Amino acid sequence: MKWTEVKVTTASEAVEAIANIMMEAGASGVAIEDALDVTNFVSDKFGEILDDEDFDHIKEGAIVMAYFPETTFLPEILPTIKQKVNQLPEFGLAIGANLVEIHEVAETDWATAWKKYYHPVSISRYLTIVPNWVDYQAKNEDEKILKLDPGMAFGTGTHPTTMVSLHALEIVLRGGETVLDVGTGSGVLSIASKHLGAKEVYAYDLDDVAVTAAQENVDLNPIAGDVQVSANDLLTGVEIQADVIVANILAEIILRLIPDAWRLVKPGGKLIVSGIIEDKKAEVLEALVAIGFEITEILQQADWFGIILTKPASDQK
Ligand SMILES: C[S@@+](CC[C@H](N)C(=O)[O-])C[C@H]1O[C@@H](n2cnc3c(N)ncnc32)[C@H](O)[C@@H]1O
């Protein structure tokens, strides 16, 4: 498959905002090259020493590369992307050279390009995500290692929406639960659920690339060996009653998921939704509350919100 790469040369402080703009515009993945990563990585807490000479990396500023399926009609979405990026200085973010380039790339190029920038990510005391090609030892007996090769699928653990979802899972899981992971991407939330004590986990994604990646990652983590991965549109046709449903998907898609989530969460069970920006928060909350969910906790990282909801134990609906 061929992809269209939209490459924005910018300033380090704008990378996250631009990555978010790209994902909202429908990018399937985003890679970032940031000169600051070199500085940060040299003093990395995992103790790896970087030889700047051998490191093919930009020396200042940053580049955000977003990958759209070649079927995306870019002339339609590019003006909005440029407009949103141009507005960032109004929010106090410098955008540097603000150069936008477009290239066609083969799948294999961007599937592997980001690997050199991907390091272990410490999510919490209990969870660390480690790239499969990195040798890493747990620092204490509580630390669970989640091995991951996200490949083309979303979910390296570094994106705020994934982190919020992982923190929410840590808050709600006690052990023994049935979990449905909707939009599993790399499978990161399913594998984490097993590490956090879930008994049964079912992972769904619409994208075949994600289904394959999730299955491969499940296979990398013996504890997650019994996670059931399958292709599915949200929870359509699913009949498994769950203690916890987690979905890290954009707000527009979460709105579609709500009726099935309500149908499948057991009374007293939890729904975790993540991937929500400020502009969409009220609309999503309103729809969730209207169907009967109670808001338990709202988490935020960067500009992204995650919501933990409870289906009341006495279900009158
Ligand atoms: C933001 S990624 C989240 C990946 C991972 N769960 C995480 O937290 O990092 C959203 C995922 O939802 C999937 N997705 C989008 N629409 C979907 C749908 N209608 N049904 C199932 N999966 C969907 C995408 O393919 C993508 O893998």
269 lines ligand 1 (CB under 6 A): no
pLDDT of amino acid 130? 92
pLDDT by residue (tens digit) across 239-248? 999 999 999 9
Confidence of residue 150 (pLDDT cuts 50, 70, 90): low
Structure tokens at 159: 């994106």
Residue nearest to atom 25 of ligand 1 (CA): 207
pLDDT of amino acid 48? 38
User: Mean pLDDT, to the nearest integer, of 154-174?
Assistant: 90
User: Is 108 annotated as ligand-binding?
Assistant: no
| Chain CA centroid to CA 65, Å | 17
Is the four-CA dihedral 77, 78, 84, 85 of positive or negative sign?
positive
Q: Is the pLDDT of residue 3 over 80?
A: yes
| Chain CA centroid to CA 177, Å | 22
Average pLDDT across the chain, whole number? 87
Rounded-to-integer distance, Cα 144 and Cα 163, Å: 15
Q: Is the pLDDT of residue 299 over 50?
A: yes
What CATH superfamily is the domain 150-310?
A: Vaccinia Virus protein VP39 (3.40.50.150)
Rounded-to-integer distance, Cα 22 and Cα 84, Å: 10
Pocket test for ligand 1, best of 22, 68, 154 (most atoms within 8 A of CB): 154
User: Mean pLDDT, to the nearest integer, of 173-185?
Assistant: 97
Expressed in angstroms and rounded, the spacing between residue 90 Cα and the centre of ligand 1 is 31
188 lines ligand 1 (CB under 6 A): yes
Confidence of residue 45 (pLDDT cuts 50, 70, 90): very low
Confidence of residue 115 (pLDDT cuts 50, 70, 90): low
Q: Is the pLDDT of residue 205 over 70?
A: yes
| Chain CA centroid to CA 303, Å | 13
User: Mean pLDDT, to the nearest integer, of 246-270?
Assistant: 96
pTM of the model: 0.71
Across 47-51, 204-208, 313-317, least confident range: 47-51
Structure ipTM:
0.99
**Closest by Cα among 73, 98, 87, 78 to 8:** 98
19 lines ligand 1 (CB under 6 A): no
| Chain CA centroid to CA 194, Å | 18
- CA terminus-to-terminus distance, the chain: 46
How is the chain split into domains, by residue range? 2-116, 150-310
User: Mean pLDDT, to the nearest integer, of 99-116?
Assistant: 74
Could you tell me which CATH number the domain at 2-116 has? 3.30.70.120
304 lines ligand 1 (CB under 6 A): no
Q: Is the pLDDT of residue 42 over 80?
A: no
Phi and psi (nearest 5°) for 265? -75, 130
Structure tokens at 74: 């870019």
